[in-house]
Amino acid sequence: MKSHQLISRIAKQATEEFYSPFPPNYKIGRTKYIIVAGSVMSGVGKGIFASSLAKLIKYYGFKIEPIKIDGYLNQDAGTLNPFRHGEVFVLDDGTECDMDLGSYERFLNTTLTKDNYLTAGMIFKRILEKERKGHYLGRDVQFIPHVTGEIKFSLRNLAVKSKADIVLLEVGGTVGDYENAYIIEAIRELIYEEGKQNVCFINVSYILEPQNLGEQKSKPAQLGLNRLLALGIQPDIIVCRAHKPVTQRIKEKISVYSNVPLRYVIGLHDIATVYEAPLLLKKQHVDDLVLEKLNLLRKAKRLKQATNLKKWRRFVKQYLNANKRITVAIAGKYTGLRDSYASILKAIEHAATACNARASVKFIETTNIHSIKDAANALKNVDALIIPGGFGKRGAEGKIACISYARRTKIPFLGLCFGFQLAVIEFARNKCHLKKANSTELDPKTKHPVICILPEQNLEKLGGTMRLGSYPAKLKPDTLVWRLYKKQTIIHERHRHRYEVNPEYVQLLENRGLIFSGTSPDSLLMEFLELPQKEHPFFIATQSHPEFKSRPMQPAPLFFGLIKAVLE
């Protein structure tokens, strides 16, 4: 840039009130936007609604790209406690993010990146880095226009990079949250700048039905809408979540109060499975209402959607009509909140449906298990055992006891990440006679550190220090894992861990009968283990998290193998 152009740019930015940066080659109107925000309360299913809507629109032949924004100051979800926020979902590129991105990947059968996730911590970090570099040309940096400008830039940048027809933004939390105030303001500005014909704002509200009254009440929803209108946003569509079907009277009240035509007030009640949500939305033509608002309905490929929906209905029918019943135990320490293991639960559902079975899940709190006898009581009448990922000493010995019982009694077993490490410890103790074998995470002074941090790893802090994202693994031919992955030599799975199998113990473990059926391509890191099928019908563990890549009609191979082993 020439000196006189730079001076002119500085002078202009110093005097104008607008600050709305656009990525190169961005053109207003080329990409449309759908905004999904909630009111009344969080946790009402915005993510499932947004995923279902996106699925219907994708089925029409449009390229739709989701993005989730959360108002917390964490730079990512990696250090969040699963008790407080549900599971940490990991993307191929190593991004640790909100579990709703898992819903998007599963419903859209797609692979997302860091561009599909945004937190307040990320936004502020970027702004402060730019401020230190003089990016703002001497201006005082403020929430408006700079923070709101950064949010708008992120949305537009995703639009350009993905070449999407539609970008769908889900706002975490609710409209009334203090931490969401500037996010809602950024959306108001986006509508102003892009034009109302290019943005569809959907408010997901909740209709309460107090048990002592036995009727639905719309007042909390009205108050939430009042807050939204006060912030300068007129919703285009209102989705009323409720336990039972929303009455016509309630829809009329919401319509009158919000200035939203009655046909744009949608009811979404609790259903037997979230897989029915797209079908319920389709029945009310929500996808058509959105595309009509965005002037895209004429481009919708109806035959393409009908063909795709036929396959989806077949899957839902198979899920609902499964005639075999099995029980799978998940032994962990976050069992008080089902969302802590959301992807595992979905992977079990996908695999069971593919096998024409319905799996009920029994959660086992391993902090209460102190012996093999305790494990035997906990695993009574259980058909399979899964030990999920996790961190820390609490409950670890209980998990090891469960693994030991499953190995000895031939209960089909699948270990994931931490479950893989604990399976190595159990085998070392009971088959290699290394009674003090442990992980240096659990006992830094253990005599036999079969699981440890390798010398080349440098860990000085918690955030961003793990082996994260998709990594290749080389599978050993003629193993069960190799067959489950359809005899592929190299496969890719996602990881989220710090500790590895100590190479010094690999030979001893193998000599005692443990098979490391998958390693890193250089053979230095152990990725999969199994026991010979003549000794155990299904005993497999992996350092990775295959549950993150499971899809409704494409179950994760290891989960499919587990369910199949139970049924056989």
How does pLDDT run across 77-120, given as a tens digit for each residue? 887 777 677 789 999 999 999 999 999 999 999 999 999 999 99
Looking at residue 460, what is its pLDDT? Answer: 46
- Highest mean pLDDT among 8-22, 306-320, 384-398 belongs to 306-320
pLDDT at 13 over 60: no
Q: Which residue has the tokens 């704002």?
A: 201
Looking at residue 43, what is its pLDDT? Answer: 78
Q: Of 19-23, 149-153, 261-265, which range is least confident? A: 19-23
β-strand partners of 415:
387, 541
* Amino acid (1-letter code) at residue 275: Y
Residue 452 in tokens: 């440890």
Question: Of 85, 350, 497, 545, which residue is the catalytic one?
Answer: 545
pLDDT at 462 over 70: no
Pinpoint the residues of the chain covered by CATH 3.40.50.880.
324-567
DSSP tally for the chain: helices H, then strands E: 19, 21
- 547 given a catalytic annotation: yes
Looking at residue 11, what is its pLDDT? Answer: 46
- 97 given a catalytic annotation: no
Euclidean distance between CA atoms 89 and 101, whole angstroms: 7
Looking at residue 292, what is its pLDDT? Answer: 97
**C-alpha dist (Å) from residue 337 to 352, 408, 429:** 22, 30, 32
How does pLDDT run across 72-87, given as a tens digit for each residue? 898 888 877 776 777 8
Contacts of 550 (CB under 8 A, 6+ apart): 106, 343, 346, 347, 350, 351, 556, 559
Q: What is the DSSP letter of 69?
A: E
Looking at domain 324-567, does it have CATH number 3.40.50.880?
A: yes
DSSP for 238-301 reads EEEEESSPPPHHHHHHHHHHHT--GGGEEEEE--S-GGGHHHHHHHTTHHHHHHHHTT-GGG--
State residue 25 phi and psi, 5-degree precision.
70, 15
pLDDT at 262 over 90: yes
How does pLDDT run across 347-365, given as a tens digit for each residue? 999 999 999 999 999 999 9
Looking at residue 521, what is its pLDDT? Answer: 95
Backbone dihedral region for residue 109 (phi beyond 0: left; psi -120 to 50: alpha; all else: beta)? left
Euclidean distance between CA atoms 378 and 364, whole angstroms: 7
How does pLDDT run across 509-542, given as a tens digit for each residue? 999 999 999 999 999 999 999 999 999 999 999 9
Looking at residue 140, what is its pLDDT? Answer: 86
pLDDT at 6 over 50: no
Q: pLDDT tier at 465 (50, 70, 90 boundaries)?
A: low
Euclidean distance between CA atoms 478 and 467, whole angstroms: 28
**Helix (H) / strand (E) containing 169:** strand 166-171
Looking at residue 459, what is its pLDDT? Answer: 46
Looking at residue 288, what is its pLDDT? Answer: 97
More confident residue, 179 or 480: 480
Question: Of 417, 493, 495, 497, which residue is the catalytic one?
Answer: 417
Widest pairwise Cα distance in the chain? 81
Pinpoint the residues of the chain covered by CATH 3.40.50.300.
15-314
* Amino acid (1-letter code) at residue 260: V
**C-alpha dist (Å) from residue 22 to 27, 158, 559:** 9, 11, 44
Looking at domain 15-314, does it have CATH number 1.10.10.10?
A: no
High-pLDDT (> 70) share of the chain, %: 94
Q: Going by DSSP bridges, is the β-strand pair 413-416/467-475 parallel, antiparallel, or unpaired?
A: unpaired
**Among candidate residues 544, 513, 508, the one with its CA nearest the CA of residue 526:** 544
Report whether 171 contacts 184 (CB < 8 A).
yes
Contacts of 483 (CB under 8 A, 6+ apart): none
What average pLDDT does the structure give for the chain? 91
**C-alpha dist (Å) from residue 104 to 49, 165, 169:** 10, 17, 12
More confident residue, 178 or 489: 489
Looking at residue 451, what is its pLDDT? Answer: 96
pLDDT at 180 over 80: yes
| Mean pLDDT of the 303-320 span | 97
**Among candidate residues 90, 121, 107, the one with its CA nearest the CA of residue 50:** 107
pLDDT at 305 over 90: yes
Looking at residue 463, what is its pLDDT? Answer: 47
DSSP for 331-361 reads EES-TT-GGGGHHHHHHHHHHHHHTTEEEEE
How does pLDDT run across 44-70, given as a tens digit for each residue? 889 999 999 999 999 999 999 999 999
| Mean pLDDT of the 173-195 span | 93
